[in-house]
Amino acid sequence: MTGASTGIGAASARELARRGFHVLAGVRRDQDADALRAPGIEPVILDITRPGHIAGLAARVGSRAGALRALVNNAAVSVNAPVEALPLEEWRRLFEVNLFGHVAVTQALLPALLRHSGRVVNVSSVGGKVAMATFGPYAGTKFALEAVSDALRRELAPQGVQVVVVEPGGIRTEMGERGIAATSRLAEAMAPELRDRYGPLVQAVIALTAAGTAGGTSAEDAARVIAKAVTAGKPRTRYTVGRDAALLTRLSRILPDRLLDRVAAAVLRPHYPKTTPA
């Protein structure tokens, strides 16, 4: 598991350990490792953007006598910003963590998965199906992860390795709170003309995200879906987490783009600052 420090990752590590797995749980800091360490959970310091860390993980997997049953790619960073307003270095940082890092880990561990007919579980997002305003950078990484997952599933099915995507909606985790804080910092740093153009929209998105996080699915419920994706004998290609994710992914399949645009605008409208007309 590539991101188990907090939230869904930590809950999933505990759920899989409870089900009898030995979980190599990727964390970024020693204090996170100490907090997570438990029977069945072996924390591993892992930054998926660092090749040396990935090589160390592959070596640790190779040193174990047991089979590698599954790779859960769930590490991610989140930030919302208008396409025009997010600096390119921030775009690149998001893609390095949310996409390229997972590709690198998958490439490193596929030999072990192929030997034992293991499974790849990629944790995407409802944002991998629907990109709300200001979600372009984050959703872009998740749309890309969905495409990579589709290709990988078709490439590996003849080899006996299954690829499953999990698409959470709003989840009550620290990641959501960190994403809100990062979005707020970026909004404050925007040039005055960009703040005039997008300020009310960003404030509305922050309010909507905060409401969705507070009322979202628990990390433990999300962990049970991930565990199902790992253990199901005949898994679906995709699992959603939460009613909001199930509804939005369904709407994205059946509504024309313009109608979906109006639905998205209506959802956002009540969250605009009261002094600013939406």
Domains of the chain by residue range: 7-271
Separation of alpha carbons 42 and 187, rounded Å: 39
Residue 211 has a pLDDT of: 83
Task: List the strands of the sheet with 70-73, edge to edge.
Answer: 70-73, 119-123, 162-168, 238-241
- Asked if pLDDT for residue 278 goes beyond 60, the answer is no
Separation of alpha carbons 184 and 190, rounded Å: 10
Degrees (nearest 5) of the Cα angle 219, 225, 229? Answer: 135
Tell me the per-residue pLDDT of 113-152, one tens digit each, with 9 for 90 and over: 999 999 999 999 999 999 999 999 999 999 999 999 999 9
- Residue 109: Cβ within 10 Å count: 21
Query: Across residues 58-87, what is the average pLDDT?
Result: 92
* Mean of the per-residue pLDDT values of the chain: 93
Q: How many angstroms from the chain centroid is the CA of residue 62?
A: 26
Residue 213 has a pLDDT of: 75
Q: CA nearest 261: which of 172, 150, 130, 66?
A: 130
- Asked if pLDDT for residue 32 goes beyond 80, the answer is yes
Instruction: Indicate the pLDDT class of residue 183, thresholds 50, 70 and 90.
Output: confident
- Asked if pLDDT for residue 30 goes beyond 70, the answer is yes
- Asked if pLDDT for residue 26 goes beyond 80, the answer is yes
Superfamily of domain 7-271: NAD(P)-binding Rossmann-like Domain (3.40.50.720)
Query: Across residues 154-169, what is the average pLDDT?
Result: 97
Query: Across residues 54-79, what is the average pLDDT?
Result: 93
- Asked if pLDDT for residue 179 goes beyond 90, the answer is no
Residue 276 has a pLDDT of: 47
Residue 266 has a pLDDT of: 94
Of 138, 198, 239, 272, catalytic: 138
Length of the chain: 278
- Asked if pLDDT for residue 277 goes beyond 70, the answer is no
Tell me the per-residue pLDDT of 237-261, one tens digit each, with 9 for 90 and over: 999 999 999 999 999 999 999 999 9
Q: Does residue 138 carry a catalytic annotation?
A: yes
Interhelix angle 192-214/257-268, nearest 10 degrees: 80
- Asked if pLDDT for residue 204 goes beyond 90, the answer is yes
Residue 185 has a pLDDT of: 85
Query: Across residues 160-171, what is the average pLDDT?
Result: 95
Instruction: Indicate the pLDDT class of residue 210, thresholds 50, 70 and 90.
Output: confident
Residue 192 has a pLDDT of: 93
Tokens representing 35 are 């907090």
